[in-house]
Structure 1
Amino acid sequence: MIRVPNVRVIDQDGGQLGILNTRDAITQANNAGFDLIEISPTANPPVCKIGDFGKHKYELAKKQKDARKKQHIVHLKELKMHPKTEEHDYSYRIKHAREFLLDGDKVKITVAFKGREMAYLEFGRSILQRAEEELNEVAECEIRARLEGRNMFSIFTVKKDVFRKAKAERDRQRKQEEERKRIAEGGDAVAPVPAPKTSGVEDVQGDEEVVVDSEQEV
Protein backbone atom coordinates (compact mmCIF):
# COMPACT_ATOMS: atom_id res chain seq x y z
CA MET A 1 0.00 0.00 0.00
CA ILE A 2 1.27 3.46 -0.94
CA ARG A 3 0.92 5.74 2.10
CA VAL A 4 2.39 9.04 0.87
CA PRO A 5 0.05 11.80 -0.40
CA ASN A 6 1.86 12.47 -3.70
CA VAL A 7 3.91 10.34 -6.10
CA ARG A 8 5.82 10.82 -9.33
CA VAL A 9 4.09 8.71 -11.97
CA ILE A 10 5.33 6.91 -15.09
CA ASP A 11 2.63 5.58 -17.41
CA GLN A 12 2.47 2.09 -18.94
CA ASP A 13 4.36 3.30 -22.03
CA GLY A 14 7.21 4.87 -20.05
CA GLY A 15 5.95 8.43 -20.34
CA GLN A 16 6.35 10.90 -17.49
CA LEU A 17 3.04 12.06 -15.97
CA GLY A 18 4.69 14.20 -13.31
CA ILE A 19 3.74 14.45 -9.64
CA LEU A 20 0.16 13.41 -8.92
CA ASN A 21 -2.02 12.96 -5.88
CA THR A 22 -1.69 9.29 -4.90
CA ARG A 23 -5.45 8.63 -5.01
CA ASP A 24 -5.73 10.27 -8.43
CA ALA A 25 -2.79 8.19 -9.68
CA ILE A 26 -4.40 4.97 -8.43
CA THR A 27 -7.70 5.91 -10.08
CA GLN A 28 -5.95 6.70 -13.36
CA ALA A 29 -4.14 3.34 -13.27
CA ASN A 30 -7.35 1.43 -12.50
CA ASN A 31 -9.25 3.20 -15.27
CA ALA A 32 -6.56 2.03 -17.71
CA GLY A 33 -6.92 -1.54 -16.43
CA PHE A 34 -3.60 -1.56 -14.58
CA ASP A 35 -2.12 -1.18 -11.10
CA LEU A 36 -0.05 1.60 -9.55
CA ILE A 37 3.31 0.01 -8.71
CA GLU A 38 5.79 1.68 -6.37
CA ILE A 39 9.23 1.18 -7.96
CA SER A 40 11.36 3.69 -6.04
CA PRO A 41 9.97 4.16 -2.52
CA THR A 42 13.00 6.09 -1.21
CA ALA A 43 12.78 8.87 -3.81
CA ASN A 44 11.20 12.21 -2.89
CA PRO A 45 8.43 11.90 -3.84
CA PRO A 46 8.33 8.11 -4.39
CA VAL A 47 8.27 6.98 -8.02
CA CYS A 48 5.40 4.79 -9.20
CA LYS A 49 4.65 3.14 -12.52
CA ILE A 50 1.32 2.23 -14.06
CA GLY A 51 1.43 -1.42 -15.10
CA ASP A 52 0.56 -5.05 -14.41
CA PHE A 53 1.61 -5.84 -10.84
CA GLY A 54 1.66 -9.60 -11.49
CA LYS A 55 4.04 -9.15 -14.42
CA HIS A 56 6.18 -6.74 -12.38
CA LYS A 57 6.42 -9.26 -9.53
CA TYR A 58 7.40 -12.05 -11.96
CA GLU A 59 10.13 -9.95 -13.61
CA LEU A 60 11.51 -8.92 -10.21
CA ALA A 61 11.68 -12.56 -9.06
CA LYS A 62 13.41 -13.52 -12.32
CA LYS A 63 16.06 -10.81 -11.85
CA GLN A 64 16.73 -11.99 -8.30
CA LYS A 65 17.04 -15.59 -9.49
CA ASP A 66 19.50 -14.59 -12.22
CA ALA A 67 21.54 -12.62 -9.68
CA ARG A 68 21.75 -15.67 -7.39
CA LYS A 69 22.99 -17.79 -10.31
CA LYS A 70 25.86 -15.37 -10.89
CA GLN A 71 26.82 -15.35 -7.22
CA HIS A 72 29.68 -17.63 -6.31
CA ILE A 73 29.65 -18.98 -2.75
CA VAL A 74 33.19 -19.39 -1.46
CA HIS A 75 33.80 -22.10 1.13
CA LEU A 76 36.84 -22.11 3.39
CA LYS A 77 38.32 -25.62 3.35
CA GLU A 78 40.76 -26.46 6.13
CA LEU A 79 43.45 -29.11 5.75
CA LYS A 80 45.46 -30.06 8.84
CA MET A 81 49.05 -31.19 9.05
CA HIS A 82 51.64 -31.72 11.77
CA PRO A 83 55.37 -30.90 11.89
CA LYS A 84 56.12 -34.60 11.26
CA THR A 85 53.52 -35.20 8.53
CA GLU A 86 54.70 -37.98 6.21
CA GLU A 87 55.50 -37.14 2.58
CA HIS A 88 52.60 -39.11 1.08
CA ASP A 89 50.14 -37.49 3.54
CA TYR A 90 51.51 -34.06 2.65
CA SER A 91 51.14 -34.75 -1.09
CA TYR A 92 47.59 -36.03 -0.55
CA ARG A 93 46.60 -32.80 1.21
CA ILE A 94 48.22 -30.58 -1.43
CA LYS A 95 46.31 -32.52 -4.11
CA HIS A 96 43.04 -31.81 -2.31
CA ALA A 97 44.02 -28.17 -1.76
CA ARG A 98 44.52 -27.75 -5.50
CA GLU A 99 41.12 -29.34 -6.24
CA PHE A 100 39.35 -27.09 -3.72
CA LEU A 101 41.03 -24.01 -5.19
CA LEU A 102 40.06 -24.90 -8.77
CA ASP A 103 36.47 -25.24 -7.54
CA GLY A 104 36.70 -21.61 -6.41
CA ASP A 105 37.03 -22.25 -2.67
CA LYS A 106 39.59 -20.83 -0.28
CA VAL A 107 42.00 -23.20 1.44
CA LYS A 108 43.37 -22.94 4.96
CA ILE A 109 46.39 -25.16 5.58
CA THR A 110 47.02 -25.57 9.29
CA VAL A 111 50.07 -27.04 11.00
CA ALA A 112 49.06 -28.14 14.51
CA PHE A 113 51.72 -28.37 17.22
CA LYS A 114 51.49 -30.67 20.24
CA GLY A 115 53.41 -30.41 23.50
CA ARG A 116 57.12 -29.81 22.97
CA GLU A 117 56.63 -29.39 19.21
CA MET A 118 56.05 -25.69 19.96
CA ALA A 119 59.83 -25.40 20.23
CA TYR A 120 60.12 -26.23 16.51
CA LEU A 121 57.93 -23.60 14.87
CA GLU A 122 60.37 -23.39 11.95
CA PHE A 123 59.13 -26.82 10.80
CA GLY A 124 55.62 -25.38 10.48
CA ARG A 125 56.88 -22.37 8.55
CA SER A 126 58.84 -24.67 6.26
CA ILE A 127 55.75 -26.78 5.50
CA LEU A 128 53.60 -23.73 4.78
CA GLN A 129 56.29 -22.14 2.61
CA ARG A 130 56.60 -25.35 0.60
CA ALA A 131 52.81 -25.49 0.19
CA GLU A 132 52.78 -21.90 -1.04
CA GLU A 133 55.46 -22.67 -3.63
CA GLU A 134 53.64 -25.78 -4.88
CA LEU A 135 50.28 -23.99 -5.12
CA ASN A 136 51.77 -20.87 -6.69
CA GLU A 137 50.50 -21.72 -10.20
CA VAL A 138 46.85 -21.72 -9.13
CA ALA A 139 46.69 -19.66 -5.93
CA GLU A 140 47.80 -16.57 -4.09
CA CYS A 141 48.66 -16.59 -0.39
CA GLU A 142 46.19 -14.35 1.41
CA ILE A 143 47.48 -14.95 4.97
CA ARG A 144 51.01 -16.27 5.42
CA ALA A 145 52.22 -18.49 8.32
CA ARG A 146 50.15 -16.89 11.09
CA LEU A 147 50.48 -18.38 14.57
CA GLU A 148 47.38 -18.63 16.76
CA GLY A 149 47.80 -20.65 19.93
CA ARG A 150 49.25 -24.02 18.93
CA ASN A 151 48.26 -23.68 15.28
CA MET A 152 50.16 -22.03 12.44
CA PHE A 153 48.24 -21.52 9.21
CA SER A 154 48.22 -19.94 5.77
CA ILE A 155 45.13 -19.15 3.70
CA PHE A 156 45.15 -19.44 -0.09
CA THR A 157 42.73 -18.08 -2.67
CA VAL A 158 42.53 -19.14 -6.32
CA LYS A 159 43.82 -16.81 -9.02
CA LYS A 160 40.87 -15.39 -10.97
CA ASP A 161 42.17 -16.27 -14.43
CA VAL A 162 42.87 -19.85 -13.33
CA PHE A 163 39.37 -20.17 -11.86
CA ARG A 164 37.74 -18.82 -15.04
CA LYS A 165 39.56 -21.32 -17.23
CA ALA A 166 38.81 -24.22 -14.87
CA LYS A 167 35.12 -23.32 -14.71
CA ALA A 168 34.87 -22.94 -18.48
CA GLU A 169 36.42 -26.39 -18.92
CA ARG A 170 34.04 -27.92 -16.34
CA ASP A 171 31.06 -26.35 -18.13
CA ARG A 172 32.28 -27.73 -21.47
CA GLN A 173 32.69 -31.23 -20.06
CA ARG A 174 29.27 -31.05 -18.39
CA LYS A 175 27.60 -30.11 -21.68
CA GLN A 176 29.39 -32.94 -23.47
CA GLU A 177 28.23 -35.41 -20.81
CA GLU A 178 24.65 -34.15 -21.11
CA GLU A 179 24.86 -34.58 -24.88
CA ARG A 180 26.20 -38.13 -24.55
CA LYS A 181 23.32 -39.02 -22.24
CA ARG A 182 20.81 -37.47 -24.63
CA ILE A 183 22.21 -39.47 -27.57
CA ALA A 184 22.17 -42.66 -25.48
CA GLU A 185 18.48 -42.04 -24.78
CA GLY A 186 17.75 -41.78 -28.50
CA GLY A 187 18.08 -38.05 -29.16
CA ASP A 188 19.63 -36.46 -32.23
CA ALA A 189 23.32 -35.65 -32.16
CA VAL A 190 24.51 -32.06 -32.26
CA ALA A 191 27.90 -30.49 -32.87
CA PRO A 192 30.45 -31.10 -30.08
CA VAL A 193 31.01 -28.32 -27.58
CA PRO A 194 34.22 -26.43 -28.51
CA ALA A 195 37.01 -26.01 -25.98
CA PRO A 196 36.88 -22.67 -24.13
CA LYS A 197 39.04 -19.80 -25.31
CA THR A 198 41.80 -18.72 -22.99
CA SER A 199 41.17 -15.00 -23.46
CA GLY A 200 38.19 -12.69 -23.42
CA VAL A 201 36.33 -14.86 -20.91
CA GLU A 202 33.77 -13.07 -18.78
CA ASP A 203 34.52 -12.95 -15.07
CA VAL A 204 32.15 -15.59 -13.72
CA GLN A 205 32.95 -15.21 -10.06
CA GLY A 206 30.53 -12.35 -9.42
CA ASP A 207 29.79 -11.52 -5.80
CA GLU A 208 31.40 -13.75 -3.24
CA GLU A 209 30.05 -15.04 0.01
CA VAL A 210 32.47 -16.88 2.28
CA VAL A 211 31.13 -19.97 4.05
CA VAL A 212 33.47 -21.55 6.59
CA ASP A 213 33.34 -25.34 6.61
CA SER A 214 33.86 -27.31 9.79
CA GLU A 215 37.44 -28.39 10.36
CA GLN A 216 38.42 -31.39 8.34
CA GLU A 217 41.49 -33.53 7.95
CA VAL A 218 41.65 -35.48 4.72
Structure 2
Amino acid sequence: MRFRRRAISRPVQTRVNERIRIREVRLIDDEGQQIGIIPTRDALEMAREKGLDLVEVAPNASPPVCRLMDYGKFRYEQSRKERDSRRNQHVTKLKEVRVEPKIGKADLETKGRQAARFLDGGDKVKLTVLFRGRSITHPELGRDLLDQLQVLLQEHGTIEQTPRMEGRTMTMYMAPSRQRVAATEREDQETNGQ
Protein backbone atom coordinates (compact mmCIF):
# COMPACT_ATOMS: atom_id res chain seq x y z
CA MET A 1 0.00 0.00 0.00
CA ARG A 2 1.40 3.36 -1.02
CA PHE A 3 1.63 6.29 1.29
CA ARG A 4 -0.38 9.20 0.01
CA ARG A 5 0.39 12.66 1.31
CA ARG A 6 -2.67 14.55 2.42
CA ALA A 7 -3.13 18.06 1.07
CA ILE A 8 -2.92 20.61 3.82
CA SER A 9 -5.65 23.19 3.56
CA ARG A 10 -4.35 26.62 4.44
CA PRO A 11 -6.66 29.48 5.26
CA VAL A 12 -6.95 32.01 2.46
CA GLN A 13 -4.79 34.95 3.45
CA THR A 14 -5.52 38.48 2.40
CA ARG A 15 -2.78 39.91 0.20
CA VAL A 16 -1.31 43.15 1.51
CA ASN A 17 1.13 45.73 0.06
CA GLU A 18 4.00 44.02 -1.84
CA ARG A 19 2.20 40.67 -1.90
CA ILE A 20 -0.22 42.08 -4.48
CA ARG A 21 1.49 41.11 -7.74
CA ILE A 22 -0.98 42.34 -10.32
CA ARG A 23 -0.26 45.24 -12.66
CA GLU A 24 -3.49 47.18 -12.17
CA VAL A 25 -6.03 47.31 -9.36
CA ARG A 26 -9.32 49.09 -8.75
CA LEU A 27 -8.56 51.33 -5.79
CA ILE A 28 -10.84 52.54 -2.99
CA ASP A 29 -9.37 55.12 -0.62
CA ASP A 30 -9.57 55.14 3.18
CA GLU A 31 -12.82 57.15 3.13
CA GLY A 32 -14.62 54.67 0.85
CA GLN A 33 -14.36 56.79 -2.32
CA GLN A 34 -13.58 54.88 -5.51
CA ILE A 35 -10.45 56.26 -7.17
CA GLY A 36 -10.53 53.99 -10.22
CA ILE A 37 -8.23 51.56 -12.01
CA ILE A 38 -4.59 52.49 -11.44
CA PRO A 39 -1.21 50.70 -11.56
CA THR A 40 -0.37 48.79 -8.39
CA ARG A 41 2.90 50.74 -7.96
CA ASP A 42 0.97 54.01 -7.78
CA ALA A 43 -1.53 52.52 -5.33
CA LEU A 44 1.33 51.35 -3.08
CA GLU A 45 2.89 54.81 -3.26
CA MET A 46 -0.43 56.42 -2.21
CA ALA A 47 -0.69 53.97 0.71
CA ARG A 48 2.83 54.83 1.91
CA GLU A 49 2.15 58.57 1.67
CA LYS A 50 -0.93 58.22 3.88
CA GLY A 51 0.75 55.78 6.28
CA LEU A 52 -1.73 53.02 5.43
CA ASP A 53 -1.67 49.56 3.85
CA LEU A 54 -2.92 48.48 0.43
CA VAL A 55 -5.27 45.54 1.14
CA GLU A 56 -6.83 43.30 -1.51
CA VAL A 57 -10.52 43.03 -0.57
CA ALA A 58 -11.96 41.37 -3.71
CA PRO A 59 -9.27 39.19 -5.33
CA ASN A 60 -11.65 37.50 -7.79
CA ALA A 61 -12.84 40.73 -9.40
CA SER A 62 -11.34 41.86 -12.67
CA PRO A 63 -9.21 43.85 -11.91
CA PRO A 64 -8.90 42.99 -8.20
CA VAL A 65 -10.33 45.55 -5.78
CA CYS A 66 -7.90 47.00 -3.25
CA ARG A 67 -8.50 49.40 -0.40
CA LEU A 68 -6.32 51.78 1.58
CA MET A 69 -6.65 50.93 5.29
CA ASP A 70 -4.78 50.13 8.47
CA TYR A 71 -4.37 46.36 8.10
CA GLY A 72 -3.67 45.69 11.80
CA LYS A 73 -6.86 47.47 12.82
CA PHE A 74 -8.78 45.62 10.08
CA ARG A 75 -7.56 42.20 11.31
CA TYR A 76 -8.41 43.08 14.91
CA GLU A 77 -11.97 44.10 13.97
CA GLN A 78 -12.43 40.91 11.89
CA SER A 79 -11.33 38.69 14.79
CA ARG A 80 -13.59 40.61 17.18
CA LYS A 81 -16.59 40.13 14.86
CA GLU A 82 -15.84 36.39 14.64
CA ARG A 83 -15.60 36.10 18.44
CA ASP A 84 -18.88 37.97 18.92
CA SER A 85 -20.71 35.85 16.35
CA ARG A 86 -19.41 32.63 17.96
CA ARG A 87 -20.46 33.86 21.40
CA ASN A 88 -23.97 34.79 20.24
CA GLN A 89 -24.57 31.49 18.46
CA HIS A 90 -26.82 29.01 20.22
CA VAL A 91 -26.64 25.42 19.11
CA THR A 92 -30.04 23.78 19.49
CA LYS A 93 -29.71 20.40 21.12
CA LEU A 94 -32.26 17.62 21.37
CA LYS A 95 -32.97 16.70 25.00
CA GLU A 96 -35.00 13.64 25.93
CA VAL A 97 -37.44 13.19 28.81
CA ARG A 98 -38.52 9.58 29.44
CA VAL A 99 -41.58 8.43 31.35
CA GLU A 100 -43.45 5.15 31.83
CA PRO A 101 -47.23 4.64 31.76
CA LYS A 102 -47.31 3.88 35.52
CA ILE A 103 -45.75 7.23 36.53
CA GLY A 104 -47.25 9.12 39.49
CA LYS A 105 -48.73 12.60 39.20
CA ALA A 106 -45.94 14.33 41.17
CA ASP A 107 -43.25 12.56 39.14
CA LEU A 108 -44.98 13.58 35.91
CA GLU A 109 -45.00 17.22 37.08
CA THR A 110 -41.27 16.94 37.87
CA LYS A 111 -40.60 15.59 34.37
CA GLY A 112 -42.72 18.45 33.00
CA ARG A 113 -40.64 21.05 34.87
CA GLN A 114 -37.47 19.41 33.55
CA ALA A 115 -38.78 19.58 29.96
CA ALA A 116 -39.89 23.21 30.51
CA ARG A 117 -36.35 24.10 31.63
CA PHE A 118 -34.94 22.53 28.44
CA LEU A 119 -37.46 24.39 26.25
CA ASP A 120 -36.78 27.73 27.98
CA GLY A 121 -33.07 27.14 27.39
CA GLY A 122 -33.76 26.98 23.65
CA ASP A 123 -33.43 23.21 23.20
CA LYS A 124 -35.85 20.87 21.48
CA VAL A 125 -37.36 18.13 23.64
CA LYS A 126 -38.20 14.55 22.76
CA LEU A 127 -40.87 13.23 25.13
CA THR A 128 -40.74 9.43 25.25
CA VAL A 129 -43.13 6.97 26.89
CA LEU A 130 -41.48 3.56 27.41
CA PHE A 131 -43.83 0.57 27.37
CA ARG A 132 -42.53 -2.43 29.30
CA GLY A 133 -44.05 -5.86 29.52
CA ARG A 134 -47.80 -5.98 29.01
CA SER A 135 -48.23 -2.22 29.17
CA ILE A 136 -47.74 -2.22 25.37
CA THR A 137 -51.34 -3.43 25.09
CA HIS A 138 -52.56 -0.02 26.35
CA PRO A 139 -51.04 2.63 24.08
CA GLU A 140 -53.86 5.01 25.02
CA LEU A 141 -52.20 5.41 28.46
CA GLY A 142 -49.06 6.70 26.75
CA ARG A 143 -51.06 9.10 24.60
CA ASP A 144 -52.84 10.41 27.73
CA LEU A 145 -49.47 11.02 29.42
CA LEU A 146 -48.15 12.91 26.41
CA ASP A 147 -51.35 14.97 26.30
CA GLN A 148 -50.89 15.86 29.99
CA LEU A 149 -47.27 16.87 29.33
CA GLN A 150 -48.41 18.93 26.36
CA VAL A 151 -50.83 20.86 28.60
CA LEU A 152 -48.04 21.44 31.16
CA LEU A 153 -45.64 22.67 28.44
CA GLN A 154 -47.97 24.65 26.15
CA GLU A 155 -46.62 28.04 27.27
CA HIS A 156 -42.99 26.88 26.98
CA GLY A 157 -43.07 25.34 23.50
CA THR A 158 -45.00 24.09 20.51
CA ILE A 159 -45.52 20.59 19.16
CA GLU A 160 -43.16 19.80 16.34
CA GLN A 161 -44.32 16.21 15.86
CA THR A 162 -47.50 14.66 17.25
CA PRO A 163 -47.31 11.45 19.35
CA ARG A 164 -46.55 8.29 17.39
CA MET A 165 -45.58 4.71 18.19
CA GLU A 166 -42.13 3.40 17.32
CA GLY A 167 -41.76 -0.17 18.53
CA ARG A 168 -42.17 -0.19 22.31
CA THR A 169 -41.95 3.59 22.64
CA MET A 170 -44.30 6.48 21.89
CA THR A 171 -42.58 9.77 21.10
CA MET A 172 -43.57 13.40 20.67
CA TYR A 173 -41.23 16.28 19.77
CA MET A 174 -41.57 19.84 21.05
CA ALA A 175 -39.72 22.97 19.94
CA PRO A 176 -39.18 26.02 22.15
CA SER A 177 -41.49 29.00 21.67
CA ARG A 178 -39.53 31.97 20.33
CA GLN A 179 -41.04 34.53 22.71
CA ARG A 180 -40.22 32.45 25.77
CA VAL A 181 -36.61 31.85 24.65
CA ALA A 182 -36.15 35.58 23.92
CA ALA A 183 -37.50 36.48 27.38
CA THR A 184 -35.15 33.97 29.05
CA GLU A 185 -32.15 35.35 27.12
CA ARG A 186 -33.05 38.91 28.15
CA GLU A 187 -33.23 37.84 31.81
CA ASP A 188 -29.82 36.14 31.51
CA GLN A 189 -28.28 39.28 29.99
CA GLU A 190 -29.74 41.45 32.75
CA THR A 191 -28.34 39.20 35.49
CA ASN A 192 -24.92 39.02 33.78
CA GLY A 193 -24.89 42.78 33.18
CA GLN A 194 -25.33 43.68 36.88
Decide: shared fold, TM above 0.5: yes
Deviations along 1:48-94, one digit per CA (max 9) or x if unpaired, are 21111101001111222222333223222111112222222211110
Aligned residue in 2 for 1:72? 90
- The 2-side partners of 1:125 and 1:118 are apart by 12
1:10 Cα deviation after fit: 0.6
1:33 to 27, 33, 51: 51
Relative to structure 2, which stretch is displaced further, 65-74 or 51-60?
A: 65-74
- The 1-side partners of 2:132 and 2:29 are apart by 72
Structure 2 residue identity aligned to 1:109? L
Q: Does residue 50 in structure 1 map to residue 65 in structure 2?
A: no
The residue matched to 1:58 in structure 2 has which SS? Answer: helix
CA distance 1:80–1:17, shift in 2 (3 Å):
same
- The 2-side partners of 1:3 and 1:90 are apart by 69
Aligned residue in 2 for 1:144? 162
The residue matched to 1:140 in structure 2 has which SS? Answer: strand
Q: Does residue 122 in structure 1 map to residue 162 in structure 2?
A: no
Q: Does residue 133 in structure 1 map to residue 151 in structure 2?
A: yes
- The 2-side partners of 1:170 and 1:41 are apart by 42
Aligned residue in 2 for 1:98? 116
Q: How many residues get paired? A: 176
- The 1-side partners of 2:23 and 2:127 are apart by 60
The residue matched to 2:98 in structure 1 has which SS? Answer: strand
Aligned residue in 2 for 1:163? 181
The residue matched to 1:101 in structure 2 has which SS? Answer: helix
CA distance 1:85–1:40, shift in 2 (3 Å):
farther
1:110 Cα deviation after fit: 1.1
TM-score of the aligned structures, taking structure 2 as reference length: 0.77
1:85 to 76, 92, 103: 103
1:141 Cα deviation after fit: 0.8
Deviations along 1:187-213, one digit per CA (max 9) or x if unpaired, are xxxxxxxxxxxxxxxxxxxxxxxxxxx
Structure 2 residue identity aligned to 1:154? M
2:172 to 154, 172, 175: 154
CA distance 1:31–1:170, shift in 2 (3 Å):
closer
**Structure 2 residue runs without a partner (length 5+):** 1-14
- The 2-side partners of 1:174 and 1:119 are apart by 51
CA distance 1:54–1:173, shift in 2 (3 Å):
closer
Structure of larger gyration radius: 2
Aligned residue in 2 for 1:108? 126
TM-score of the aligned structures, taking structure 1 as reference length: 0.69
Q: Which has the higher contact order (CA 8 A, sep 6+)?
A: 1
Identity level (%) = 38
CA distance 1:17–1:93, shift in 2 (3 Å):
same
CA distance 1:112–1:23, shift in 2 (3 Å):
farther
